[in-house]
Amino acid sequence: MLNILTYGESILTEKANEITEFDQSLQRLIEEMHEAMQRDHGIGLAAPQVGTSKRLFIVGIDDEPLRVFINPHIVASSQETTELEEGCLSFPGLYFTVVRPLAVDIEAVDMHGKPFRISADGLLARVIQHEYDHLDGILFVDRVSPSKRKRALTHYGRMLKM
């Protein structure tokens, strides 16, 4: 079973690499990420969170089929933004409100290397943007004001010592 890395691991703040091989090991990685995400009750997980520097993330909201995004690009974002409380499997127990575009268009390839494009809004758009950020080493704490970020991380540091 894959471990999910938590805040402080350097791979979480690094830019991940493009995927070029669509083989068995990629399929196995996706299956193992899916298991880890379900075990920790997440709705999204990016490969760097399991220690793999690859441009891959998965999204699984409620009972919807698992969505796999490889080498993704957000090609359009709505002007309209929305505030929503986010959590992250790499910051267990930390939640706070983040402002992001309400809707995005994303292009990616699936686990067989086949390109697709979707328009997403609501929770799906939110999870996509959060996971996409992980591929560039950007964490949700980087999307809030410096003072809020400092408060959150101080609080998080305190929680970890408990």
The number of beta carbons lying within 10 Å of the beta carbon of residue 128 is 24
Backbone angles phi, psi at 4, to 5 degrees: -95, 125
Nearer to Zn ion, 45 or 109 (CB): 45
Taking the mean position of all CA atoms in its chain, how far away is CA 7?
Answer: 13
Task: Please give the single-letter amino acid code of residue 32.
Answer: E
29 interacts with Zn ion by CB under 5 A: no
What is the Cα–Cα distance from 135 to 58, expressed in whole angstroms?
Answer: 12
Query: Count residues contacting Zn ion (CB under 5 A)?
Result: 1
Nearer to Zn ion, 12 or 70 (CB): 12
Question: Of the candidates 51, 46, 150, 140, which has an alpha carbon nearest to the alpha carbon of residue 100?
Answer: 140
What is the closest distance, in whole angstroms, from the C-beta atom of residue 1 to Zn ion in the complex? 19
When binding is defined by CB under 5 A, the residue of 29, 58, 88, 103 that contacts Zn ion is 88
What is the closest distance, in whole angstroms, from the C-beta atom of residue 106 to Zn ion in the complex? 17
What are the residues binding Zn ion (CB under 5 A)? 88
